A = this chain, B = another copy of it.
């Protein structure tokens, strides 16, 4: 039997804190009996919650800290108050120390990114980590990155993201040569910003074995599933993600209202309820959850702050998957194949 996957949880993060984190771990422990958990947070709160989950309790250790990063904290503030002692930092540090294989937090994204970078450091040749998420599409699922780790990206950083995203797609979707597209405002070669055009040129010329460069894609190509991996810088990636979530919620609301307006519609809803629920499950932002930080020397997963227990469990799932499949080793190998690890460190390209 393979050794268990050891998961460090920032049990105090997210809008709902320990209740959701522990219940999420409970669900994940049932799904993956080969896991062990280290929960960081307030022991007085966590112990009773853990004891409610018979599958979780025997595989869980609680490490006490009474310091938690708040959702509204600025990253600098979070660092000042929480470095080396907050539940968020300790969960990440457990990965660095080799006590855990991955860390999961539903806390403040900015703080998590800053702490993860400071504690785990970026992989050789990588200036900035990126957040990658799995996005439901008409063809199945795609990986989209960066969902908001940093603002702006130069051509080489976009190429790095393409390589990292493809390595993840090979694992998560079991593809040999995933297709990769650069998000742009038009498919014609002329359009868009210089960095994106330049990244396109590099990807075409490199002709990497581990990915097939498709060209530019537009916002509506994400949902269509035109490519397996969509690459963009963090500002537009975050806006795309949140806009899609907003649109899904909006349509859900419209449907609810419309299906309640007449008796015919209400009766129709009763009959089609199961089918409608299946659709909602596919796109519910709470379910489609878990952004992986790529480019660090360690696996850190960001769960949606508003995720429920099921959502938090999904975030654990995706981390579990990449650890089981040795994502980091694969990314390293892909990056050195792409020559990225060997390029000279460009001054001024280091993210703030």
Q: Would you give the 0/1 interface string for A221-251, flagging 1 where the beta carbon is closer than 8 Å to chain B?
A: 1111000000010111011111111111111
Q: Is there an interface contact between B241 and A151, defined as CB atoms closer than 8 Å?
A: no
Q: How many residues of chain A have a CB within 8 Å of chain B?
A: 67
> Is A282 on the interface with B (CB-CB < 8 A)?
yes
Residue of chain B at shortest CB distance from A273: B268
> Is A118 on the interface with B (CB-CB < 8 A)?
no
| Least CB distance, A259 to chain B, in whole angstroms | 6
Give the residue of B110, B244, B268 whose beta carbon is less than 8 angstroms from that of A191: B110
| Least CB distance, A281 to chain B, in whole angstroms | 10
Give the residue of B72, B241, B250 whose beta carbon is less than 8 angstroms from that of A137: B250
Chain A at the B interface: SS class: helix
Within 8 A of B (CB), among A93-146: 109-110, 136-138
Q: Is there an interface contact between B242 and A244, defined as CB atoms closer than 8 Å?
A: no
> Is A209 on the interface with B (CB-CB < 8 A)?
no
Give the residue of B148, B193, B244 whose beta carbon is less than 8 angstroms from that of A185: B148
Q: Considering the chains assembled together, what is the distance between the CA atoms of A332 and B75 in angstroms?
A: 42
Q: Which residues of B contact A232 (CB under 8 A)?
A: 239
Give the residue of B72, B221, B241, B274 whose beta carbon is less than 8 angstroms from that of A264: B274
> Is A329 on the interface with B (CB-CB < 8 A)?
no
Q: Which residues of B contact A151 (CB under 8 A)?
A: 185, 192-193
> Is A351 on the interface with B (CB-CB < 8 A)?
no
Q: Is there an interface contact between B235 and A223, defined as CB atoms closer than 8 Å?
A: no
> Is A1 on the interface with B (CB-CB < 8 A)?
no
Q: Which residues of B contact A223 (CB under 8 A)?
A: 243, 246-247, 249-250
> Is A186 on the interface with B (CB-CB < 8 A)?
yes
> Is A344 on the interface with B (CB-CB < 8 A)?
no
Q: Would you give the 0/1 interface string for A176-216, flagging 1 where the beta carbon is closer than 8 Å to chain B?
A: 00000001011010111100000000000000000000000
> Is A265 on the interface with B (CB-CB < 8 A)?
yes
Q: Which residues of B contact A269 (CB under 8 A)?
A: 268, 272
Q: List 7 A-B contacts (CB under 8 A).
A: A138-B253, A192-B235, A219-B243, A224-B249, A236-B239, A248-B251, A267-B272
| 10 nearest A-B pairs in the assembled complex, by CB-CB distance | A219-B242, A268-B272, A268-B271, A220-B246, A223-B246, A219-B243, A223-B250, A265-B275, A258-B275, A247-B247
Residues on A facing B (Cβ under 8 Å): 72, 74-75, 109-110, 136-138, 148, 151-152, 183, 185-186, 188, 190-193, 218-224, 232, 234-236, 238-251, 253-255, 258-259, 261-262, 264-265, 267-276, 278-279, 282-283
List 18 other contacts, CB 8 Å, given A136-B250, A220-B249, A268-B275.
A110-B190, A138-B254, A148-B185, A151-B185, A185-B235, A185-B238, A192-B235, A219-B238, A219-B243, A219-B246, A224-B249, A236-B236, A254-B279, A264-B274, A265-B274, A268-B268, A268-B270, A269-B272
